Chain A
Amino acid sequence: MQDEKTNKNHKLNDKNNKPDVMPVEDVTIRFAGDSGDGMQLTGTQFSESIAAAGYDVGTFPDYPADIRAPAGSLYGVSGFQIHFSSHDIHTPGDQIDVLVCMNPAALKVNLKDIKKGGIIIVNEDSFDAKNLDLAGFKTNPLEDGTLGRYTVYELPITKTTLQVLKDLGLSMKEAEKCKNFFALGLVYWLYNKTPDFTLNWIEQKFAKRPEIVEANSRVLMAGYYYGEATEIFTSRYEVKKADLPKGTYRNINGNEAVALGLVAAAARAGLQLFLGSYPITPASEILQSLSKFKNYGVKTFQAEDEIAGICTAIGASFAGALVATTTSGPGMALKTEAMGLAVMAELPLVIIDVQRGGPSTGLPTKTEQSDLSMSIFGRNGECPMPVLAAQSPSDCFHITIEAARIAIKYMTPVIVLTDGYIAQGSEPMKIYKVSELPEIKVIFQKSREGFFPYTRNEFLSRPWAIPGTKGLEHRIGGLEKQNITGNISYDPENHNQMVKIRDKKVKKIADEIPLLKVNGVQSGKLLVLGWGSTFGAIASACENLQKKGIKVSFTHLRYLNPFPKNLGQILKQFEIILIPEMNLGQLANLIKMEYLVSPITFDKIKGLPFKAMEIENKIEEILRT
């Protein structure tokens, strides 16, 4: 039905003088424009359509912190980068092959990232004196030779959009808003992809406003035809489909993956899910998503502050729900006292920290990995907590489920670290059924026989005895507990013992976490060790160098506390350990402390993820010396 309609409205002409279709390995495209230009939508549409067509895709949105910065200004530039490839990729791409820019400010901000000889598609209509001035161009870069190293296509995107829509009776403003679809249509053409995915989306999205469906579809196809009909473009490109493992896939970003991971974990455990949270960039989407899942029985509680967010979760855990709280750095700081309570009360709780630039308010929309030290150490008293980190957008799903499993099995709060980069970046995720996920076994205490709140099983975990269970009435709290009975105890020996039990309980988790695998030679000169979201850049860098015959190995941590048992052994096999981190060396400090080795740290604290190239260069630099 859909196809018929599409063909009727927008019949593609068969032309004989089509430009050549050139095969390419992989491509990085960035759509950039004003924050009101719809670049996030354009990028998302393209990436989803490409992912659905069976490519491996990595994306990275980059948008300003201001809700609506002044139009045309440099700080109002919003971008969305898509990397797609015929092989397994790990990142949204280093350098841009194609930049689509809707105004001079977008050109100014993104110029440095374009590959030499790369393609720049500009909306020439926006290169007027006012916008050039706002972007800080003294002369017009389209005329003064600035862009000599690139292939530049100047297109009348605004004018064409208005021209195509002139009989529809839309207001000037409404009509102009459609122009991002022109750019999208053109890029579909350029990469030899049908625009059907977006045409379908437009129809569903604006079903109640047929005039908008018509307008957006017309402009999309106008962009597509522009490539087809004009002879400006001498080449089109074709990327072969990726050879991914068998299975059903979807595209997903890290925040959505966390939300789905929580729902899936609750389903696997057979528990209700409760989320206590407070909105904070860049974690709010998790709360927003879960708020939609009411028909899955999910209970979300938007608390009055970060502390209430975690405390409502602790209360719900006491009452027998699978609970989580979601936040970012400043919220983590506020929640620390309550984390201590959860450690003392020994209640399961998943804490998701979507890290951002710090300290203080820092860089809310930018990424960083600087909450690791805080997660390991940042509480009063001896307060051990398992800490896990997701290595990619899709891994956010699995790591969240793993955190829930550990929390319930060991009756402990667990921290999961993600960050702005993987929270908002997306990639294909292989889909698993709930029944295929790791088992999460819940045993609520039922029997009064021999029941004490702080008896322990072989994992040193105490019973979960929830209110409503007759005969199990008992009291817990933040005061030190007497071993076994759980009564308040100020006894010196008891405190000494309890501190050590809590510590041992967390350390024992190492007995069951997967051993680390080294990619590359198993011993030698250089091992790159990473954790969390740097996985993509590190893996790409090392694989690129390995292809060139350079001997470099890498391994990646998803478990930060406790570490996998074989980490110490692995570190001994290499002369040099290189740790790239988006902080001043927080993992490096842990490694020094635990294994008495001196890694080389490589930091990038710019609010931006590592590029594979940066790590490659660093590795080569080390290997040269």
Chain B
Amino acid sequence: MNENNQTTSLPKTPLPVPKDYASDRDVRWCPGCGDYSVLAMVQKVMAQVGLPREKIAFISGIGCSSRFTYYMNAFGFHTIHGRALTIASGVKCANPELSVWVATGDGDALSIGGNHFVHTLRRNIGMNILLFNNRIYGLTKGQASPTTLEGKITKTTPFGSIEHPVNPISLALGSEGTFIARTLDRDLKHMQEMLLKVYGHRGTSLLEIMQNCKIFNDGAFLEFTEKETKNENVIFIEHNKPLVFGNKKDKGIKLDGWKITVINIDDGKNSINDCLVYNEKSKELAFLISEFYDRQDLPMPVGVFLNIERPTYEDNMMRQIEYTKEKLGIGDVDELVKGNSTWVIK
């Protein structure tokens, strides 16, 4: 008997594999779109952490990236333009047990949904926001977005954009976000690392993904993603590590008073000890580095800008409900409807 028991123990639930998270729908982004790599990596990371499919609510707004929900074998809600964060907030409040994810784009999150972007981050509601930034409106076929660079020619800016673009990371910092990071669609290893951190953070996690639109803004991030130029133009920021970059890791970021300078750490005058050491708990540093975004003379920062703890909205909400139940007793609806002052007609 005992032997039998040993051999007939319950079959092990097989570990999930990425394709368990793929729906039966054909993926219909344009060939060569950066969104494919994000989809594959999200499915891979979900399998890696073993997230039960029924616990996942994937919410999106409108735009190319927002089709993401249809391709995930999970609970999905493809909503209306700009409002994904609000729908996701409602889902999380109603059921804090769910793992809530949002796929959104630069138009969806920063233009029509800009208001919700600010308020969701400040509330710190538990959700993972994947912000696909391709600096263009793709689904509507090539108009300028809030992240389109000045001077850029698009269908709505035939003589070049006269607007200054928004910096998503700085906006997220200004919105009191608690986890703010950036990655690149063509750096899978880094994306994987970032997604794992996004998943691990309690509260609102924002991951900006610089993502290439093959059709309407091809090559927007080429200098950051191609082997030949990447190391010279991108700086990978890491907690407790000095800020160095360059093909030979020979350049560093030095803080000289309030002035940021790029130093050569191999020139004998400077060393790695002169470089600024990053700290993802420091909002001041995060602001400082996020502002590299606009600077031609400084590399594009990629990695975790900020990773701090703050109570989440849903935790506070549930805590307040529990507290009042304890203090005032669990409410009796019949008594509530009656109120304090009644009279009887016989």
**B interface residues with partner A (beta carbon < 8 Å):** 23, 25, 52-57, 59, 62, 69-70, 72-80, 83, 86-95, 97-98, 115-116, 118-119, 317, 320-321, 323-325, 327-331, 333-334, 336-339, 341-346
Interface contact B338-A296, CB-CB below 8 Å? no
Determine, out of A13-21, A226-234, A359-367, A464-472, the stretch whose residues face the partner at the interface: A464-472
| Nearest-Cβ distance from residue B233 to partner chain A, whole angstroms | 36
- Given A431-B337, A432-B337, A433-B334, decide whether A472 and B86 contact each other with a Cβ distance below 8 A: no
CB contacts (< 8 Å) of A471 on chain B: these are 54
Question: How many residues on chain A are close to B (CB under 8 Å)?
Answer: 71
Interface contact B94-A272, CB-CB below 8 Å? yes
Q: Which of B89, B341, B343, B345 lies in contact with A312, CB distance below 8 A?
A: B89
CB contacts (< 8 Å) of B25 on chain A: these are 487
Q: Which of B321, B329, B342 lies in contact with A249, CB distance below 8 A?
A: B342
A213 to B346, CA, bound (A): 34
CB contacts (< 8 Å) of B339 on chain A: these are 250, 252
Interface contact A308-B343, CB-CB below 8 Å? no
Closest chain B residue, CB of each to CB of A347: B77
Interface contact B76-A303, CB-CB below 8 Å? no
| Nearest-Cβ distance from residue A400 to partner chain B, whole angstroms | 12
Closest chain B residue, CB of each to CB of A293: B331
A474 to B56, CA, bound (A): 11
- Given A314-B90, A318-B77, decide whether A264 and B333 contact each other with a Cβ distance below 8 A: yes
Interface contact A299-B94, CB-CB below 8 Å? yes
Interface contact A319-B94, CB-CB below 8 Å? yes
- Given A318-B77, A470-B54, decide whether A267 and B87 contact each other with a Cβ distance below 8 A: no
A-B contact pairs, 22 of them (CB 8 A): A246-B346, A293-B336, A294-B321, A295-B327, A295-B328, A297-B325, A301-B93, A308-B89, A311-B80, A314-B87, A315-B77, A318-B57, A318-B77, A318-B87, A345-B77, A467-B55, A467-B98, A468-B97, A473-B75, A473-B76, A477-B77, A478-B62
Interface contact A312-B79, CB-CB below 8 Å? no
Closest chain A residue, CB of each to CB of B24: A487
Q: Which of A250, A301, A316, A319 lies in contact with B341, CB distance below 8 A?
A: A250
- Given A295-B330, A308-B116, A341-B80, decide whether A467 and B57 contact each other with a Cβ distance below 8 A: yes
Q: Which of A263, A293, A305, A316 lies in contact with B90, CB distance below 8 A?
A: A316
Interface contact B324-A320, CB-CB below 8 Å? no
CB contacts (< 8 Å) of B72 on chain A: these are 475
Interface contact A250-B77, CB-CB below 8 Å? no
Judged by a CB distance under 8 angstroms, whether A307 is at the interface is yes
Interface contact A341-B79, CB-CB below 8 Å? yes
Q: Which of B88, B324, B338, B341 lies in contact with A294, CB distance below 8 A?
A: B324
Closest chain A residue, CB of each to CB of B66: A477
Interface contact B78-A308, CB-CB below 8 Å? no
A296 to B320, CA, bound (A): 11
| 6 extra A-B contacts, CB within 8 A, seeds A250-B342, A315-B91 | A311-B90, A315-B93, A318-B90, A318-B91, A321-B94, A340-B80
CB contacts (< 8 Å) of B86 on chain A: these are 276, 303, 307-308, 311-312, 315
A568 to B24, CA, bound (A): 49
Q: Please, what's the 1-or-0 string for A206-245, where 1 marks a CB less than 8 Å from any CB in chain B? A: 0000000000000000000000000000000000000011
Judged by a CB distance under 8 angstroms, whether A536 is at the interface is no
- Given A305-B115, A468-B98, A473-B53, decide whether A315 and B89 contact each other with a Cβ distance below 8 A: yes
Which chain A residues numbered 487 to 519 have a C-beta less than 8 Å away from chain B? 487-488
